[in-house]
Structure 1
C-alpha cells in the first residue's frame, strides 16, 4: 500500500494510505459527515463541490456501490477520507466497490486515518483548507502554498445544468432551478406525476415565467449563498408571482431575497441524524443535512419571513415561511437521500399550495398582498 497524507492549513498532518483516484486536484475545504450509511449519496451530492469529505463512521464501502443511489452523474467532491474502506463489500445490490468508483471518477481517497481525531480538530477550530499528498518531502512549501490558495466561489456555476431539460409528466408544471440539484428532488416530483422543467442557475425570472410554471422549486447547492447574486435577484422577482419552495441553498436564497442575512457556520451540519422541531405542530423530525451556511436568526426581525422550524442541537433556523407570499423553505433535505423520510411530506405540502392557487381561479399572491395591506 502506498502512503498518502492529508495536510491541513494549520500544519496538522494525517497519515494514511492511498486508494481511489490520483491526485490531480488535491485541494479543498475539509468537512465531516456523521452518516453511518449513505456514503454513495454523499459522494455524489453536488453540494459537496470542492470539499474533502471525512466520514466519521469507521467502516465505509461495506455494502458497495449500485446504479440506483447516485445523486448526480458526476461527483464533485475533491477527496474522501475514511478510517477503513471495505475491499470486499457484501450486498445483493452491489455492482462495484468504493475504490472502483473513486478510480472511475478520478476522486482521490485516503484510508487508515484517525477520523475521530480529525473530526475533533474540525469541531474545535472549524472547517479549514486541506491538501492530499503522496509525499511530505516538500511539506513547508506545500503548507505555504495551501495557505495562499483561494478556494473557488463559483461552485454553483460548475454544478448547475448548462441547458434546460424536461422530465415529462401530466400533473402540475414545476420549474426546478438547478443550483446543484440532487436527483432525489427530481424523483419526488416525478413520483407525484409533475411535469418538471429543470433550468440553469442563471435563467432570468422573465424566462422562468414564460414557461408558465404552477410552482418554482429552488434546489440545494454548494458554497456561500451570497455568491449566487443572480439567484437572489431572480427569487426576489418571482416572489408573489408563483408558489415557491426552497431547499438548502434555495432556503438561504429566499432569506437573502427578503433582506435577511446568512452566516458561515463553524463546521456546518452534515449527516442524517439532525433533529428539527416544527414550531406549528411541536413535532420533531430527524433530517438529512448538508450545509456550511445558515440563516441568521436575528436578521429575520425586520422581514416578512417567519421562522417555522429550528435545529434542536444549536437553535439555527431550519424552516421559513413568507407572511404575504406563497413561499416557504427548509434548510435540510426532505427528499431524504440519504437519510430519514420524516419530512418527505413537504413535497405534498408544496403540491397542495399549488393546487390551492389554481382553485382560486387565477387569484395571484400579489393581489392577496394588496388586499392584506389595504
Structure 2
C-alpha cells in the first residue's frame, strides 16, 4: 500500500486493474492500457434522469436545478430555504429552462470531463445574463467555460472531507468536502469580469468565482456536505440572498 501511495504521489493518478485467476502480467497490463480514460468523455449523460421533475412543489422562490449528477442533499437544502425546486436534465435546451421563468438556477455537481459537455456550456451561455446562478463543483467548471475559462485534469484529484479553502473576501478558512479530478485554470479567466473568491490552501488551485456584473457565483467544493463538515453550507443562504436582491432590483 505504501509503495502504491508513493507512486501515485510522484506520478499522479493513473489507470489500474484488479484481476482474479492466473493471467500473464503482459496481458493484464494490456487490458489496463485499453481501458477508457475519463479525459474527453461525457459521463453526465449516464447519471441524469431523462425528464424534468419537481422535487419540492411549494416555496416562495422557484429554482431550476440543472442536473449534471445532483446530490439529494442539494435539493433538500434548497427546499429548506423556501424554494420550489424543479430539476431539469443537463441535456435540456435552454429555451425549456427559460420557459420556467425561475428566480434562480443552480448548476449541480457531476462526473467526468467538463470540457466534454459543450451542450451544457451552450445552455448556460443563453441564460447567464438573465437569471441568478449558483454552481457547485462540476457547476463551476461549466460556468467558467461560459465566461471564457478553460479546464484541465489535475495530477491527482481532490478527494475527501478535509480540504482547507480560503475565502478571499473575508480571510476565513473553511474545511470543505471535495471530489473532483478536473479544475478551472485560474489564469484563463478574465479578471475584469470575474472575481476569484476562494482558493485551495493545499495547492493554490481555484475554488470559487463570482461575476462582477451578473448575479452569478460558483464554488469547486461541495457546500452541501453530507457526509463531511458543514462549514460552507452558508452558500445556500447566500444563493437565496442573491435571488431576493435580484427580485428587488
The alpha carbon displacement at 1:193 in A equals 2.6
Structure 1 residue runs without a partner (length 5+): 1-113, 361-374
Q: Which residue of 2 aligns with 1:40?
A: none
* TM-score where L is the length of structure 2: 0.95
The alpha carbon displacement at 1:139 in A equals 2.9
Matches of 2:132 and 2:166 in 1, distance apart? 24
Q: 1:321 aligns with which of 203, 206, 210?
A: 210
The alpha carbon displacement at 1:234 in A equals 1.0
Q: Which residue of 1 aligns with 2:48?
A: 160
The alpha carbon displacement at 1:327 in A equals 0.3
Check 1:324–1:273 CA distance in 2 against 1; reply closer, same or farther (3 A cut): same
The alpha carbon displacement at 1:145 in A equals 2.3
The alpha carbon displacement at 1:173 in A equals 0.5
Q: Secondary structure at the match of 1:314?
A: coil
Q: Secondary structure at the match of 1:233?
A: helix
Matches of 1:235 and 1:303 in 2, distance apart? 20
Matches of 1:216 and 1:194 in 2, distance apart? 11
Q: 2:16 aligns with which of 121, 127, 130?
A: 130
Alpha-carbon contact 1:179-1:219 (below 8 Å) kept: yes
Q: 1:140 aligns with which of 17, 26, 29?
A: 26
Alpha-carbon contact 1:231-1:253 (below 8 Å) kept: yes
Alpha-carbon contact 1:258-1:303 (below 8 Å) kept: no
Q: Which residue of 1 aligns with 2:35?
A: 149
- Cα deviation per residue 1:41-60 (whole Å; 9 max; x = unaligned)? xxxxxxxxxxxxxxxxxxxx
The alpha carbon displacement at 1:302 in A equals 5.8
- Cα deviation per residue 1:188-246 (whole Å; 9 max; x = unaligned)? 11211311011111111111010111000000011110001101111111111000000
The within-5 A match list for 1:67-86 is none
The alpha carbon displacement at 1:121 in A equals 2.0
Check 1:126–1:177 CA distance in 2 against 1; reply closer, same or farther (3 A cut): same
Matches of 2:115 and 2:9 in 1, distance apart? 24
- Cα deviation per residue 1:44-100 (whole Å; 9 max; x = unaligned)? xxxxxxxxxxxxxxxxxxxxxxxxxxxxxxxxxxxxxxxxxxxxxxxxxxxxxxxxx
2:98 is equivalent to residue 212 of structure 1: no
2:6 is equivalent to residue 120 of structure 1: yes
- Cα deviation per residue 1:341-374 (whole Å; 9 max; x = unaligned)? 11100000000110111112xxxxxxxxxxxxxx
Q: Which residue of 2 aligns with 1:234?
A: 123
Matches of 2:52 and 2:63 in 1, distance apart? 13
Runs of 4+ in 1 over 4 A off after TM superposition: none
The alpha carbon displacement at 1:169 in A equals 2.0
The within-5 A match list for 1:263-342 is 263-301=152-190, 304-342=193-231
How many residues are treated as equivalent by the alignment? 246
Alpha-carbon contact 1:174-1:214 (below 8 Å) kept: yes
Alpha-carbon contact 1:259-1:303 (below 8 Å) kept: no
Q: Secondary structure at the match of 1:341?
A: coil
Structure 2 residue runs without a partner (length 5+): none
Q: Secondary structure at the match of 1:174?
A: strand
- Cα deviation per residue 1:135-168 (whole Å; 9 max; x = unaligned)? 2423311211221232351210000111111012
Q: Secondary structure at the match of 1:352?
A: helix
Alpha-carbon contact 1:246-1:328 (below 8 Å) kept: yes
Matches of 2:22 and 2:43 in 1, distance apart? 29
Question: Whose relative contact order is higher, 1 or 2, with alpha carbons under 8 Å and at least 6 apart?
Answer: 2
* Larger Cα-atom Rg: 1
Q: Secondary structure at the match of 2:15?
A: strand
Q: Which residue of 1 aligns with 2:72?
A: 183
